A = this chain, B = another copy of it.
Amino acid sequence: MTTASSNTIKILRTVQQVRQWRRQCLLNGKTVGFIPTMGALHSGHCSLISQSLKDNHHTIVSIFVNPSQFAPHEDLEAYPRTLESDLKILEDFPKGNVVDAVFVPKISEMYPSGITLEVPKQKGAFVTVQGCSEQLEGASRPAFFRGVATVVTKLLNIVTPDQVYFGQKDAQQCVVIKNLVKDLLIDTNVNVLPTLRESNGLALSSRNAYLSDEVRDQSSIIYRALSNGKAFYETSTKKTNQPVKSSDILNEIHHTLESKPDNFNIEYISINHPQSLEELEFVEPGVGAIISTAVRVPKEKEEGEARLIDNVVLS
């Protein structure tokens, strides 16, 4: 049964309902844009949605906290589920410029063979993208991108969108998904939109809510350091149009980071090929690279640290 929320957004609960809706769009010759999310919507998501509303006749958002991308020790249970406020955010888009549908499936709808978080005990079909899933964010979370690739494959098979939207903030996720779509010959266009930032440059993230005002201010050093690395690369290539040594770019970044607070812990800073994510010894103009980092910073109210990720793209 399809139910409508107070505005005109259709809430679709089953694969069957999405397929019906999609088929109608197709038969009417209308294009469909899709934004997959885990809910807890913020302005980053909204910028993807706005772009889809511009690009396509119809737009659909999915809200699904995907179990298979969480390890057993991770916080699947604690992950924020804020469906009501998410719907409110979607309804509050300017009149006449609102998404058409939200897909909010149950776990059993997305994992018909069931799903346990322990990988060796899992049954059913899973998708891995080899070569770009093991490094960087994948190093500390070995099954993370397998979970992401699996759920995105399912969602793309259900929605079959003309355009699908992701944020550059999750740079490695974007690479995994681009390779997935290319290799599995999924008929959609992957759009990666720029990272939204706070006025001091800090990348927008739900995790920024964990930070005190002081740490939030201090965290601006992350983007500043990456930007200095990027500026160094651009200055070098403008002069010589020659490949630039990654170690020289990294030196520049580390130089900026010398003034970081002592309780900021850098997990990695890495320079990788923009399509394969292979680590690069040199960055070649025209090929480019992604410089990415993960930094653990103190939380305001709880014990422990918040993990901030960010990246810049060299071209």
Q: Which residues from chain A sit less than 8 Å from chain B, CB to CB?
A: 15, 19, 26, 110-113, 122-132, 149, 153-154, 157-158, 179-180, 182-187, 276
Contact = CB atoms under 8 A, between A and B. Distances in A.
A180 B150 CA distance: 11
Contact of A26 (B26, B126, B128): B26
Contacts of A276: 123
B182 A113 contact: yes
A127 B276 CA distance: 19
3 nearest A-B residue pairs (beta carbon) = A123-B131, A125-B183, A124-B183
Contacts of A110: 185
A184 to B, nearest CB: 5
Copies of this protein chain in the complex: 2
B127 A125 contact: yes
A128 B125 CA distance: 6
Contact of A128 (B126, B180, B184): B126
A122 B185 CA distance: 17
Given A179-B113, A182-B112, A19 B187 contact: yes
24 contacts: A15-B185, A19-B187, A112-B182, A112-B185, A113-B183, A123-B276, A124-B129, A124-B130, A124-B131, A124-B183, A125-B127, A125-B129, A125-B149, A125-B183, A125-B184, A126-B129, A127-B127, A154-B183, A154-B185, A157-B157, A157-B184, A157-B186, A157-B187, A158-B185
B130 A122 contact: yes
Contact of A180 (B122, B125, B149, B179): B125
Contacts of A153: 184
Contacts of A182: 112-113, 124
B131 A128 contact: no
Nearest to A157: B185
A110 B184 CA distance: 8
Contacts of A185: 15, 110, 112, 154, 157-158
A183 B132 CA distance: 24
Counting chain B CB atoms within 10 Å of each CB, which of A123, A132, A182, A183 scores highest?
Answer: A183
A129 B185 CA distance: 19
A104 B185 CA distance: 15
Contact of A124 (B111, B122, B179): B179
A116 to B, nearest CB: 11
Contacts of A122: 130-131
A185 to B, nearest CB: 5
Contacts of A149: 125
Counting chain B CB atoms within 10 Å of each CB, which of A26, A131, A157, A179 scores highest?
Answer: A157
